[in-house]
Amino acid sequence: MIAKRTSRLAALVALPAALALTVGASSQAVAQGTGAFQINLAQLNNSGSKGTAMLSLQGNRLTVKIESEGLVPGQPSAQHLHGSTDGHDFHCPDASDDTNGDGVLDNTEATVDYGNINISLTTKGPTDMMSGLAVDRMPVADAQGKLSYQRTIPVSQAVVDHIKDLHIVQHGIDRNNNKKYDFDGAGKSELDPKLPQEATAPTNCGEVKGAAVGSIPVGGVETGTGPVKEQGVPIAMMGAGGVAFVAVTGALALARRRRSVLATGWRGNNGGAA
């Protein structure tokens, strides 16, 4: 009986080691530029827009697939990978970031949270930051406000190394519900006065599903504020290494408790002898 229990304890202790090996293999795959990552897009500016994106890496080639809906029908949707590849922690904004209180979360207000453009998700041509407002090369929503996008583009090693720290933002809202971008809805864009604010305001945003909460902030975000306090992180949001650590700790504690029970039983069966 003791031999059987001992073998069970050995199996419990071995399980975290196997998890750690899996974590190591996963980290190595990302470092080598392979893997797929899901992003769920959630509405901003009460747009009703939502969608799903997949990022797939093969070496230094990134394939981006997006299926979204609730966009302005027949209008181009500027879209980008935002975030940081130098250790800063960015995330999707919310309505509280409308600092001027005009009822529209504009791109300048939202950039405080989701960071600058890293890659412009155009349909053709350059994908750098300078193409961020190249609306003539951005995908166009169909008559139902749905958009399908796929493109494979070369990326830097920094993007490969920090792919989980980047996120997708699509732009374009219809504040006055007339199914087009115009200046009557929200005035001029703060980015380019030749464009309506409706064309550049973010309509949705999404982060890599299951990724750790960004990289460790280096001196806070680039706006000069300090790092956000984290008051407990759910296991689902912990890095895989954190899950492995929890598993190891739990298994060792269980092993110690089992040994204690075995020892107590042994003493009881032997008249309390030590």
pLDDT of 77 > 60? The answer is: yes
- pLDDT higher at 72 or 248: 72
Backbone angles phi, psi at 85, to 5 degrees: -115, 20
Q: Lowest-pLDDT range, 32-41, 43-52, 139-148?
A: 32-41
**Does residue 266 fall inside a structural domain?**
no
Distance of alpha carbon 81 from alpha carbon 237, whole angstroms = 21
Q: How many domains does the chain have?
A: 1
pLDDT of residue 210: 62
pLDDT (0 to 100) of residue 169: 98
Higher pLDDT, 134 or 1: 134
pLDDT digits (tens, 9 = 90+) for 56-70: 999 999 999 999 999
Taking the C-alpha atoms of residue 270 and residue 274, their distance in angstroms, rounded to an integer, is: 9
| Residue 238 belongs to a domain | no
Predicted local distance difference test score (pLDDT) of residue 88: 82
Give 96-154 pLDDT, tens digit per residue: 999 999 999 999 999 999 999 999 999 999 999 999 999 999 999 999 999 999 999 99
Domain assignment of residue 187, yes or no: yes
Tell me, yes or no, whether 121 lies in a domain. Answer: yes
Structural domain contains residue 263:
no
Contacts of 166 (CB under 8 A, 6+ apart): 81, 82, 83, 84, 85, 118, 119, 159, 208
CA distance 264 to 270: 10
Q: Per-residue pLDDT for 159 more than 60?
A: yes
Q: Which two tokens stand for residue 137?
A: 């090369």
The pairing of strands 147-154 and 166-171 is unpaired
CA 242/CA 261 separation, integer angstroms = 29
**What's the confidence (pLDDT) of residue 130?**
94
Which is higher by pLDDT, 264 or 204? 204
Report the alpha-carbon distance of residue 177 to residue 142 in Å, rounded: 16
Instruction: Please state, rounded to an integer, the average pLDDT across all residues of the chain.
Output: 75
R_g over Cα of the chain: 25
Residue bearing the bigger pLDDT, 260 or 235: 260
Query: Residue 55 sits in a domain of what CATH number?
Result: 2.60.40.200
CB atoms near residue 147 (< 10 Å): 24
Residues in Cβ contact with 97 at an 8 Å cutoff, skipping those fewer than 6 apart:
105, 109, 110, 112, 113
Q: How confident is the model at residue 87 (pLDDT cuts 50, 70, 90)?
A: confident
Q: What is the mean predicted confidence (pLDDT) over 17-33?
A: 45
Residue with tokens 């005009």: 102
Check residue 86 and give its pLDDT.
Answer: 86
Taking residues 76-91, what's their average pLDDT?
91
Percentage of the chain lying above the pLDDT 90 cut: 59
Q: What angle do CA 210, 215, 216 make, to 5 degrees?
A: 130
How many CA atoms lie less than 13 Å away from 2 in the CB half-sphere? Answer: 8
Which run of H or E residues covers position 262? helix 240-269
In a domain, 17, yes or no: no
**Can you tell me the mean pLDDT for 164-173?**
95
Residue 237: inside a domain, yes or no?
no
Helix then strand count (H, E) for the chain reads 6, 8
| Amino acid, res. 217 | P
* Lowest-confidence segment of 5-19, 178-192, 240-254 by average pLDDT: 240-254
- Over residues 183-242, the pLDDT tens digits come to 998 999 999 999 999 999 999 999 998 654 433 333 233 322 222 332 222 323 233 333
- Indicate whether 44 belongs to any domain: yes
Which range, of 10-14, 99-103, 257-261, averages the lowest pLDDT?
A: 257-261
Domain span at residue 81 reads: 34-211
